[in-house]
A and B are shown apart, each in its own frame.
Chain A
Amino acid sequence: MKKTSVLPVVLLLFILIVFASLMGRYQGFVTYKELSRNSLLQQLILMVRLPRIVLSLVVGAGLAVSGIVMQTVFQNSLADPGILGISQAAGFGASLGFLLFPTTRIPIQVFAFISGMISLVVVLRLARRIENQNRLSLIFAGIAISAFFSAGLGIVKYLADPLDQLPSIVFWLLGSLSTSDWSAVVQIAPLSIVCMAILYLLRWRINAYSLSDSVLYSLGIDRNIEIYLILGISVLLTTTIISFSGLVGWVGLIVPNVARLAFGYDMRKSLPASILIGAIFVLFSDTLARVLIAGEIPLGIITAFLGALIFIVLILNNRSRA
């Protein structure tokens, strides 16, 4: 078997973490000497940059895992929470939660999860109605649902207080980790990590959902129950992340494709690889978002820019091989 080691990827991630914690608007790049002398700088790294780095790792890994799970289950390398309409639904739910309960975070998460699940169930049913085997039917259903929730989001925006709530919603929708602190880490990371851990442990079995229903039956698997369970966990993971980070697009679409290209189609390897590559991708993008200009660039803009670039490279690569 072709052995591609994940070690270089781990190393890259580690180096990136170190660099990211030493880079920022305050003082540009920090050297070790400065760090040991300047206690304000130590505080800054510990209380501001570190939680943000942790969150960017969780966001990247989580969105990538959701993406690869959905792509594998649906046998469609374009399926991801964005294209299936789950991100839009989560965006709608979270905004609605914010509109109704502006002071607490929990309703935002709950609303995002509920509308994400609604979108998942509707997409699955719609796709099944249209045509069982056609891979495009899933995408069509996703587009429809996405448009539906975009409209809902439009209503929420229209109803929001234009001075106070609307700017928060709009900025949040662009995707950003600028509000990171340790309390946000406590709120987002444990649940996300539990979801990821479950999907990580199930990774070999997820391979099998590519098999036909009758074969799965002969292997003792009830496809419908297990798929709803696994997609439900993925939706919980995605919506938990989105309810904090906003719509950080393209991670769930691009990262799994890159991971499969490098590590093959077996989830035993491609899922862990997605975790690492997703974490690297978002940490890198978020560091750019922090340091590129004096202000803050929304993370979603950077991931969209980089993601679209990589996507084009992937398409061209695919064409030249075919």
Chain B
Amino acid sequence: MHIPVLSLKGVNYTYSNGRSFSFHNISLRIFEKSITCILGRNGVGKTTLLLIMLGFLKPTKGTVEYSSKLGSGEPKSKNNKISYLPQYERIQEKMKVGDYMLMGRIPFISPLILPRIEDWEIVIKYAGMLDLIHLLDYPMEEISGGEFQRVRLGRALVQESDLILLDEPITHLDINAKFKMMDLIKKLNALEKSIIFSSHDPAEALQISDFALLIHDDHSIHYGATKEIVTNKNLSRCFNMPITIYAGKNSFSCIIERST
């Protein structure tokens, strides 16, 4: 039942780019078909951890192992089993939305040929799911922030991998778009995808994630089932502020309690 899709074993990593910090001896298993939320303050290393999970950053010690089942498509190269959505990315803003999404099919198209009809059909399929069909012909620079985020997600999805890493996919959206994005993540999960996303809003973790991974200020990690991990006490430590969780009917919000 709980099969790991991704395991970190004794991973050490030192980040140094102006600031520097280190992860020490991280061992954890991300389970198949689960939603995991990485929580932590800005600059604590959420992106770094995601990039280690992706394999883009190599641990100085320890290993990252992937389940052998990873990748339902026809993987032609070793890296196309994981979709990755960075928080920010460089784009050609004059490129059309459809052409941008089509680039997610690169692992399945050999370098010397052009995309085939099947690839375009897959783009259409996910564009339909993400409500983007009407935007396919627009240049990237003309769409809204929320649409942009969905288009980028679409690019990650057409890769059809089973493990999807999303770096702050919800953060900069308005409440309406936030809600839709969370719904989408749940929908993807229902399609048996494993999803790891980062956030600095604990409410997002409580709303949709099965597992939560807190990165504390000292870069130590606290990982487990969301209900057990995302508590007032742990959050207060993680964000270095007294935080109280309020539960609504089907949703949550997290508030900092003022002492005065």
Interface contact B137-A219, CB-CB below 8 Å: no
Interface contact B99-A218, CB-CB below 8 Å: no
Residue in A208, A210, A215, A220 whose CB lies within 8 Å of B77: A220
Residue in A212, A218, A266 whose CB lies within 8 Å of B80: A218
Contact flag A215-B111 (CB < 8 Å), given A1-B96, A207-B99, A220-B80:
no
Interface contact A205-B104, CB-CB below 8 Å: no
The count of chain A contact residues (Cβ–Cβ below 8 Å) is 26
Collect the chain B residues with CB atoms within 8 Å of residue A211's CB.
Answer: 89-91, 103
Q: Does B10 contact A (CB under 8 A)?
A: no
Q: Does A221 contact B (CB under 8 A)?
A: yes
Spot the interface stretch: B20-28, B50-58, B235-243. Answer: B50-58
The count of chain B contact residues (Cβ–Cβ below 8 Å) is 38
Q: Does A150 contact B (CB under 8 A)?
A: no
Interface contact A217-B79, CB-CB below 8 Å: yes
Contact flag A214-B106 (CB < 8 Å), given A219-B79, A264-B96:
no
Interface contact B89-A219, CB-CB below 8 Å: no
Interface contact B103-A266, CB-CB below 8 Å: no
Contact flag A219-B103 (CB < 8 Å), given A214-B84, A214-B86:
yes
Q: Does B132 contact A (CB under 8 A)?
A: no
Collect the chain B residues with CB atoms within 8 Å of residue A204's CB.
Answer: 109, 113-115
Interface contact A220-B95, CB-CB below 8 Å: no
* Minimum distance in angstroms from A285 CB to a CB of chain B: 28
Contact flag A219-B90 (CB < 8 Å), given A204-B115, A214-B84, A266-B96:
no
Q: Does B78 contact A (CB under 8 A)?
A: yes
Q: Does B76 contact A (CB under 8 A)?
A: yes
Which residues, 193 to 243 on A, are CB-close (under 8 Å) to B? Answer: 201-202, 204-205, 207-208, 210-215, 217-221
Interface contact B107-A219, CB-CB below 8 Å: yes
Collect the chain B residues with CB atoms within 8 Å of residue A201's CB.
Answer: 111-113
Collect the chain A residues with CB atoms within 8 Å of residue B113's CB.
Answer: 201, 204
Interface contact A207-B115, CB-CB below 8 Å: no
Collect the chain B residues with CB atoms within 8 Å of residue A218's CB.
Answer: 54, 56, 79-80, 82-84, 156, 159, 165
* Minimum distance in angstroms from B118 CB to a CB of chain A: 15
Q: List 6 A-B contacts (CB under 8 A).
A: A207-B99, A212-B89, A214-B86, A217-B54, A220-B106, A266-B96
Residues of B bordering A, CB below 8 Å: 51, 54-56, 76-80, 82-84, 86, 89-92, 94-96, 98-99, 103-104, 106-107, 109, 111-115, 137, 139, 155-156, 159, 165
Beyond A220-B107, A264-B94, A266-B96: 8 further Cβ-contacts under 8 Å? Answer: A1-B96, A1-B98, A204-B113, A211-B89, A218-B82, A218-B159, A266-B95, A266-B99
Residues of A bordering B, CB below 8 Å: 1-2, 75, 133, 201-202, 204-205, 207-208, 210-215, 217-221, 260, 264-266, 268
